[in-house]
Amino acid sequence: MTKLELTQSGPDLAAALVDIPSVSGTEEKIANKVEAALSAYAHLKVFRHGNTVVARTDLGRDERVVLAGHLDTVPLNDNLPARRADGLIHGLGACDMKGGVAVGLRLAATLAEPNRDITYVFYDCEEVEAERNGLYLLSRSNPELLEGVFAVVMEPSNGVVEAGCQGTMRVEVTTRGERAHSARSWMGKNAIHAAREILARLTAYEPRRVPIDGLEYREGLNAVGISGGVAGNVVPDLCMVTVNYRFAPSRSEAEAEAHLREVFDGFEVQVTDSAPGGLPGLGRPAAAAFLAVVGGEPQPKFGWTDVARFTLLGVPAVNYGPGDPLLAHKQEEFVPEAEIEQCEQRLRTWLTA
């Protein structure tokens, strides 16, 4: 096994990581190399859980922060090996997120005496179902390994801090009627027609804009599906509108549910899926110090990501890493070498100043 050299430049390391194929489910090789490379450093304690590798400093500092990145990529799309041109690294996973992983590995190798204890997590299966996600599995088996006052998930974010994340809840709002032959429709009651009131409430709904820690979380309430109908000649007795509510992280799941029951008062409402939001936690000292170094205007995170997995564990988290998230999963994805270096430099300042 050729050794992964963690002291080469960040861009060189990122390109080397791109050249170790690691489509979700096949991360054993890259995890072996990462584990072996990190184990060479006496200032790190290294743990392996499946194809997830955790490395921790243990200096007894006042606080501990977590830096995390996933090792896997989406499937190959005729975009390996890495190709470098004009200050860009092209290739599968370059943007999402081997640039970020290179930053994390370089910091792990070179920061023997950081000002905060650091836990580095390099995990597998981020790009597939949540049940296989290495960070999720680790949070179930060894949550103590993910403890910290603040976490940075180094997914591509254009070098901008994206904080917290919205909660999400899906409900089915149901109308009931009575079946009848459509030739004698007055004998029945049309459940699909009755759904117009649900749609009217959704159309009239004004989503909140909620300020938290200086960020504005913009909510959304949308019908994302509708189903009903029995046959071409039957008045339907059932119609179901599926509604997705994206809510600000200051609202709990229970509060979100209560709100939806109020909005759809008079209808049957059933929750089918739900995940809480994550508070940005930017007021915490470690986060404030991080923002002071990284600079720029933090943005709220709208999607549900592994940032939220940390907040579920009580660890406020942000997304911060090199690369443009809009390029993730695209054949032509790339990461600028300068962004890898800038991201590393800023994290290094935060962790040593």
Q: Which is nearer to Zn ion, 156 or 236 (CB)?
A: 156
Give the up-direction half-sphere exposure of residue 239: CA atoms within 13 A in the CB hemisphere: 22
- What is the rounded distance in angstroms from the CA atom of residue 219 to the CA atom of residue 113? 42
Point out the residues that are catalytic. 72, 126
Q: Which is nearer to Zn ion, 190 or 319 (CB)?
A: 319
The order of strands in the sheet holding 83-85 is 83-85, 88-90, 334-336
Residue with tokens 């820690």: 213
Check: CB of residue 167 under 8 Å from CB of residue 246.
yes
User: Of 286, 313, 16, which is closest to residue 143 (Cα–Cα)?
Assistant: 313
For residue 157, the minimal CB distance to Zn ion (Å) is 10
Q: Which is nearer to Zn ion, 96 or 219 (CB)?
A: 96
For residue 101, the minimal CB distance to Zn ion (Å) is 10
Residues near Zn ion (CB under 5 A) are: 96-97, 155
Q: Which is nearer to Zn ion, 111 or 151 (CB)?
A: 151
User: Of 257, 231, 233, 254, which is closest to residue 245 (Cα–Cα)?
Assistant: 257
Please list the alpha-helical segments (H only) found in the chain.
Answer: 10-18, 28-39, 99-110, 134-141, 191-194, 196-204, 253-263, 285-294, 306-312, 337-352
For residue 156, the minimal CB distance to Zn ion (Å) is 7
For residue 85, the minimal CB distance to Zn ion (Å) is 23
Q: Which helix (H) or strand (E) element contains residue 55? A: strand 52-56
Q: Which is nearer to Zn ion, 108 or 154 (CB)?
A: 154
Q: Shortest Cβ contact with Zn ion: which residue?
A: 96
DSSP string covering 124-175? S--SS-GGG-HHHHHHHH-GGGG--SEEEE----TT--EE-B-EEEEEEEEE
